[in-house]
C-alpha cells in the first residue's frame, strides 16, 4: 500500500487520528519494526478509542496520560443541571429576582414573626398559670399533711393521757370492793336490829 501524497491528503480530522494512531503504535511497543510499514486496518480500529477522539493520549512505559480537548467547557457542562442548556459566554443561568416578590416575602416573614411572638407569649402565660396552679396544689397538700400530722400527734397525746387517767382511776377504785362489802355487812346488821326492835 502506498502512502498518500500531498495531493491526496486525507481530511484534517482523519489525518490527525492516523498520526496519533501511528504515534501510539510506536510508543506501545511497535518500535522500529513498525517504521516504514502501514498498520493493518484492524490495528487502527483497535487503537482508535473514544479517548483518542476526545483528546490526546500519551504513554510512557506502563503509564498512560490523557488530556481532554476543551477541558473547561467539559467542566462547565458537567456542572450544569440535566435538562437545562449550558450557560453560554460565561453568563449566569440564575434568573433575575423580582423586587416585588422580595417585598412580599419580607412582609410575610414579618407576619410570621409577629404570630410566632404572640404564640410564644400565649404559651408563656399558659405555663405561668399552670405553674401557679401547681404551686397552689402543692402548698395545699403540704398544709394538709402538716395539719394531719399535728392532729395525729395531738390525738396520740390525748390517748396516752386518757390511758394514764384510766390507770389512776383503776388504782383509786381498788378499795371500793372492800368498802362495798362493809356496806353490805352494815346493811345486814341494821336489818337485823330493825327486826329485833319490832
Q: Give the pLDDT confidence of 64-119 residue by residue, as tens digits.
A: 777 778 777 777 777 665 555 555 444 456 667 778 888 899 999 999 999 999 99
Domain residue ranges in the chain:
48-77, 98-178
**Model-wide pTM > 0.75:** no
pLDDT in tens, 12-48: 444 444 445 445 445 444 443 344 444 444 443 345 4
SS (H, E, C) 14-67: HHHHHHHHHHHHHHHHHHHHHCCCCCCHHHHHHHCCHHHHHEEEEEECCEEEEE
pLDDT confidence band for 8 (50 / 70 / 90): very low
Nearest-angstrom CA–CA distance, 44 and 10 = 15
Give the pLDDT of residue 192: 87
Give the pLDDT of residue 194: 84
pLDDT in tens, 158-170: 999 999 999 999 9
Nearest-angstrom CA–CA distance, 42 and 48 = 10
Amino acid at each position: 500500500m502506498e502512502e498518500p501524497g500531498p495531493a491526496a491528503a486525507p481530511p484534517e480530522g482523519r489525518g490527525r487520528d492516523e498520526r496519533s494512531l501511528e504515534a501510539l503504535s510506536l510508543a506501545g511497543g511497535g518500535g522500529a519494526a513498525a517504521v516504514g510499514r502501514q498498520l493493518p486496518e484492524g490495528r487502527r480500529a483497535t487503537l482508535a478509542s473514544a479517548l483518542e477522539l476526545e483528546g490526546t493520549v500519551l504513554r510512557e512505559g506502563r503509564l498512560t496520560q490523557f488530556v481532554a480537548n476543551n477541558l473547561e467547557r467539559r467542566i462547565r457542562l458537567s456542572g450544569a443541571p440535566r435538562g437545562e442548556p449550558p450557560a453560554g459566554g460565561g453568563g449566569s443561568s440564575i434568573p433575575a429576582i423580582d423586587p416585588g416578590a422580595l417585598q412580599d416575602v419580607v412582609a410575610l416573614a414579618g407576619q410570621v414573626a409577629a404570630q410566632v411572638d404572640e404564640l410564644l407569649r400565649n404559651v408563656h402565660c399558659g405555663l405561668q398559670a399552670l405553674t401557679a396552679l401547681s404551686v397552689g396544689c402543692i402548698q395545699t397538700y403540704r398544709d394538709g399533711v402538716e395539719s394531719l400530722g399535728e392532729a395525729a400527734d395531738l390525738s396520740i397525746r390525748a390517748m396516752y393521757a386518757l390511758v394514764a387517767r384510766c390507770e389512776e382511776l383503776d388504782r383509786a377504785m381498788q378499795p371500793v370492793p372492800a368498802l362495798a362489802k362493809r356496806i353490805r355487812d352494815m346493811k345486814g346488821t341494821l336489818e337485823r336490829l330493825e327486826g329485833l326492835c319490832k
